[in-house]
Structure 1
């Protein structure tokens, strides 16, 4: 009888210990940060790109900005690489919580998603081979011009085509545009200037000039699902970063200059 009583007490103590451990684990779990999935197109340095050929890590200005804002709101960020043309649909279908990909808040896009305030402004650049003879927009007449599928530059090329007849070709990724130029299949490509300059520095046979054809469309913003409560929260933290100089530090880090 005494042995049974001791065994009973042992079982009670063991259950108590396990319950306490379970409580501790549960409390630890509640302290873990929530996770937001960021959609991006990791072919757009220095905004977002794969760190090395042997690593899957996506780094860049947009990634740092996302982690900074989300961190202030108590979230961790998981970055998901998607072709630029599929980012809006990924947002609408719930595959991602927000999109940070150097995206311009056009009126067409605003019909499908909501945007934050502008966090960075840029211009278009016409990228060509140095020996192409293309120095102005008029020189593009009759030429084959590449653009990224679904990008603001694709729309700008269509607008340009109304003034200067060109043949427009699109590709999913920016490096594809660069390779098409180098191979001679494209005469030029329209790429955001900050991104284009990075490629021109690496590819010594390429050059470019900026185009101000659509200055009112310049600017990048964060995209969210319609009526998301994250929009106002991100805007609030973004404004703080503008006011306290944090955003400027990120711009200097990734672009080497200020706006």
Structure 2
């Protein structure tokens, strides 16, 4: 009788210990799941491109920064920014160093060969930009024998290459916008090609000795990029978030924070 009582006691103790172990295991797994709100994606940006991307007191800001943050919050995923020269962004996507790129990137057929774009989020367009005192250049036809400054990897650089033979100018290439602006201000280059909203903001905010001339040369649209064929689900989330921001009015609020309506 005593043996059966002892055996029953041991069985009861084992059951209690097993139940405690199960509770602890469940609590641990719940805590682990709670710590992960969603996927984290690395976002490539170019912080020399105000009003879309720039840095103030160590913080990234601008239209693109606010927009991708708002999309991430709306679609419940996390992001980490990776700043780099614009020309290195698509290669970084191809190398798997980035998941997303938002950098005032124009949607072009050439880029579509290697990346998938979101729905367009901004209508831009290239402008000719000269020194404030320049009265000789007002159109492409005035560029023969001149030096045209462009930023590497941009649609401005591509436009310059595509039209170099027709209009007879020389191209000077730079890795960032401030260097390009300075080259024209100093008179070392005659004209530069830049997206209209970017140069309009730079002139207004920084007091550059520059001005835009003539009509816009292109009708570019900006898109958010992911590597072609690799991130369809993420692209769907980006498009869904972008549409919700438009519908709610938050998209317009972000734009109005940085640029006045034309």
- Could you list the runs of 4 or more consecutive aligned residues of structure 1 that deviate by over 6 angstroms after TM superposition? 14-21
Equivalent of residue 237 in structure 1, options 222, 225, 241 = 241
Matches within 5 A, 1:1-259: 22-23=28-29, 25-30=31-36, 32-52=37-57, 55=58, 57-137=59-139, 138-201=141-204, 202-215=206-219, 218-227=220-229, 228-229=231-232, 230-257=234-261
Counterpart CA distance in 1 for 2:190 and 2:134 is 7
3-state SS, counterpart of residue 101 of structure 1:
coil
Shift of 1:164: 1.6
Q: TM-score, normalised by structure 2?
A: 0.83
Distance change (3 Å), C-alpha of 1:27 and 1:236: closer
Shift of 1:207: 1.5
Shift of 1:24: 6.0
Q: How many residues align?
A: 243
Contact residue 185 and residue 208 of structure 2 kept, 8 A: no
Q: TM-score, normalised by structure 1?
A: 0.84
Counterpart CA distance in 1 for 2:171 and 2:136 is 16
Distance change (3 Å), C-alpha of 1:163 and 1:214: farther
Counterpart CA distance in 2 for 1:17 and 1:232 is 39
Structure 2 gap ranges (5+): 1-16
Contact residue 127 and residue 217 of structure 2 kept, 8 A: no
For the aligned residue pairs, the C-alpha RMSD in angstroms reads 2.4
Shift of 1:253: 1.4
Shift of 1:26: 2.0
Structure 1 gap ranges (5+): 1-11
Counterpart CA distance in 2 for 1:26 and 1:205 is 56
* 1:82-115 deviation per Cα after TM superposition (whole angstroms, max 9, x unaligned): 1111111111111111100010111111111111
Give the equivalent residue in structure 2 for 1:4: none
Shift of 1:20: 7.8
